Chains A and B, each alone.
Chain A
């Protein structure tokens, strides 16, 4: 396959992420408008922040009248997990510097989950998945801002499971044939269950990932690729 075809198959490969992103992004646009946030602010956040939980949080923070500096720290805590994911990701695939920057800016929970379990990853395929996901996130926000009021809420409630289906599919596929390492995701789940009761969710997730990975590094069982 040439570069363009690989890029196109990457775009197609982002379809499950798009299915998850578009309804969430529409909901984001709708809620933002309802809270009285100007459309240009909502759209700029989708382009410049590109992180679901952070943007929903930002809508809350705007309506609470919190200062920009405080907002920065709150959002920073939510996104600490991307350092951990990025280290694992960049260590696994030796991209060119340009592709490292691109894959870092496009790194989300979903693109990381989709790409990080692959044995090898063509840069053009990675670009396709990243561009498709990013594009659908912005597209959804525009749809939400413009036409959000016509979407039946029950539909977006039902589609809330889309992202989880993606995660569950990826987890199941990566455990097939090596169920003995199921203790790694199970321990991060348990850690997150406990920690999320006392910590903000962003912090709880990053600590739980570290706990699960530390247990994995002690117990072994993950093939060193």
Chain B
């Protein structure tokens, strides 16, 4: 019981402190163009690292991950709404999983 409480408290600090640090910093005064480009590049760089190679673990088979990602990219490129894209891609991946299970 006590260990649980202590662990939850410590882990909460370990997640909330990194989140809160930037709220107290004032770095918008830094005008260096390289640094501004660095900050502006972070969202795109983050998306890249969050997508790959994590996507390969979807469906328990890298091929399913790649196929699902390709479909999602195609639909996004064609301008499909994100919710429609999630629905179709999830259905597609579910079918792939069923198919690959039945082949084994």
Docked-complex contact B53 and A222, CB < 8 angstroms: no
Closest to A58 in B: B11
Query: Given the complex, which residues of A lie within 8 Å of B28, measured CB to CB?
Result: 91, 94
Q: Which of B34, B51, B53 is in CB contact (< 8 Å) with A168?
A: B51
Contacts of B8-61 to chain A: CB distance below 8 A: 8-23, 25, 27-28, 33-55, 57-60
Most chain B CB within 10 A, of A19, A212, A218, is at: A212
State which of B21, B47, B85 has its C-beta within 8 Å of the C-beta of A113: B47
CB distance from A40 to the nearest CB of B (A): 8
| Residues from chain B with Cβ under 8 Å of A196 in the complex | 53
Shortest A55–chain B CB gap in Å is: 9
Q: A172 on the interface (CB 8 Å rule)?
A: yes
In the bound complex, residues from chain B placing their C-beta under 8 Å from that of A217 are 34-35, 37-38, 41
Residues of A within 8 A of B16 (CB): 48, 105
Q: Say yes or no: is B6 at the interface (Cβ < 8 Å to chain A).
A: yes
Q: In residues 184-200 of chain A, which contact B (Cβ within 8 Å)?
A: 184-189, 191-193, 196
B45 with A212: CB separation less than 8 A: yes
A209 is an interface residue with CB less than 8 A from chain B: yes
Chain B residue nearest to A162 (CB atoms) is: B86
Contact-size category for A: 35 or more
Cβ of B98 under 8 Å from chain A: yes
Stretch at the interface among A120-128, A131-139, A153-161: A153-161
| Number of residue pairs spanning A and B whose beta carbons lie under 8 angstroms apart | 278
Taking A48-B12, A76-B14 as contacts, is the C-beta distance between A188 and B45 under 8 angstroms?
A: yes
Whether A172 contacts B73 in the complex (CB less than 8 A), given A72-B11, A75-B14, A217-B37, comes out as yes
Whether B39 lies near A91 (C-beta < 8 A) is yes
Contact flag A209-B59 (CB < 8 Å), given A69-B10, A154-B98, A168-B69: no
Contact assessment for B94 and A155 in the assembled complex, using a CB-CB cutoff below 8 Å: yes
Which size bracket describes the interface of B in this complex? 35 or more
Stretch at the interface among A2-10, A25-33, A82-90, A142-150: A82-90
Task: Tell me the nearest residue of chain B to A105, going by C-beta.
Answer: B19
Contacts of A97 in B (CB 8 A): 23
Q: Which 3 pairs show the lowest CB-CB distances between chains A and B?
A: A212-B45, A216-B41, A185-B48
Chain A residues near B (Cβ < 8 Å): 15-16, 19-20, 38, 41, 44-45, 48-51, 54, 58, 61-62, 68-69, 71-73, 75-76, 79-92, 94, 97, 100-101, 103-105, 107, 109, 112-113, 116-117, 154-155, 157-162, 164-175, 181, 184-189, 191-193, 196, 201, 204-205, 208-218, 220, 222-225
Residue pairs across A and B with Cβ atoms less than 8 A apart, 8 shown, are A16-B83, A54-B14, A79-B18, A86-B21, A101-B23, A154-B97, A172-B73, A209-B49
